[in-house]
Structure 1
């Protein structure tokens, strides 16, 4: 992505840390959580790779079409998985956004990106609206219900559940990736 190197590195760190945590979540005993964590790890590491500042490393010409193919396949896999639950549709949108950014980056030189247009493209604006809503909704879902209802710390949480099976950590992971996606789309 094109932008200041310091914010680029922060984005790389956020996405790589999120991807690493998602890899650890793949050790869950729940199969559905393992599958979701695998897709989220791929998304996190892919976003980290795409966010490396171009002042430090300019990817070779084949990298952007490679990203488009990988995330296109990821989107198709998520679309297939959406048969069993609509929560997979977010992964379809996320993979589509990655394909869109990869295609945009492949078709535009580093210094001319975004020049010659008035305003932002409709697809970029639509994705910005979607991810803004997603981030806000996910953030609200992180508010502990136990605190609102008067329960004590850890109310309703099983002590037998491992740290990889805690839904609030998975939501925080998704929130971090949603914020990173917003930053990447804004940098376009």
Structure 2
């Protein structure tokens, strides 16, 4: 992506760390958790690769074509499962955004500038979607006030492993949503 190198490397690190955590989540005993974690790991590592600053490494055109193809297949797979939950629809939006960004970079990988003076419609729509997603995800991570008394310390009895904790999964999705916003803005 285009932009300063330092924030670009921070974005690479964030996306790679998120992808690595999602790989660890694939060890979950819950099948749906493993399947979701695999898709999120692909997104995390793909975003890390796409976020490498162009000033440091300018990938060849074929690399963007490979990204377009890989995320195109992932988008078709997500389309097949999107009938299910809202989360599957989010995976579809994420893969479509990745296909779009890779296709734009395929068209003009070194010096991309928009043809007009404004933001392209699809970029704007994706920015709106991911802004809403990030805000909604951030609110979902806020702790709820407990009116029934003091909070017990320590994990509850029979708690799940750290890889299956829903708040960690949500934090990963939030960080990938923020990263997607940053990537779309620099597009």
TM-score normalized with structure 2 length: 0.93
CA distance in 1, matches of 2:90, 2:133: 9
CA 1:25/1:151 → structure 2, altered by over 3 Å: closer, same or farther? farther
1:48 alignment counterpart: 48
Q: CA RMSD in A?
A: 1.7
1:133 alignment counterpart: 132
Query: Could you tell me how far 1:6 is from its partner in structure 2?
Result: 0.4
Query: Could you tell me how far 1:155 is from its partner in structure 2?
Result: 8.4
2:143 alignment counterpart: 144
CA distance in 2, matches of 1:20, 1:86: 24
Query: Could you tell me how far 1:125 is from its partner in structure 2?
Result: 0.5
Alignment of 1:16-165 (within 5 A): 16-111=16-111, 113-145=112-144, 147-149=145-147, 152=151, 157-165=156-164
Query: Could you tell me how far 1:109 is from its partner in structure 2?
Result: 4.3
Q: Is the 8 A contact 2:61 2:109 kept in 1?
A: no
CA distance in 2, matches of 1:136, 1:153: 29
CA 1:158/1:47 → structure 2, altered by over 3 Å: closer, same or farther? farther
CA distance in 2, matches of 1:101, 1:50: 9
2:176 alignment counterpart: 177
CA distance in 2, matches of 1:177, 1:154: 30
Q: List alignment gaps of at least 5 residues for structure 2.
A: none
TM-score normalized with structure 1 length: 0.93
Query: Could you tell me how far 1:41 is from its partner in structure 2?
Result: 0.3
Query: Could you tell me how far 1:71 is from its partner in structure 2?
Result: 0.4
> What whole-Å deviation, never above 9, does each CA across 1:7-53 have from its counterpart, x for those lacking one?
11000000000000000011111111111100000000000000001
User: Once structures 1 and 2 are overlaid, which stretch shifts more, 85-94 or 169-178?
Assistant: 85-94
1:12 alignment counterpart: 12
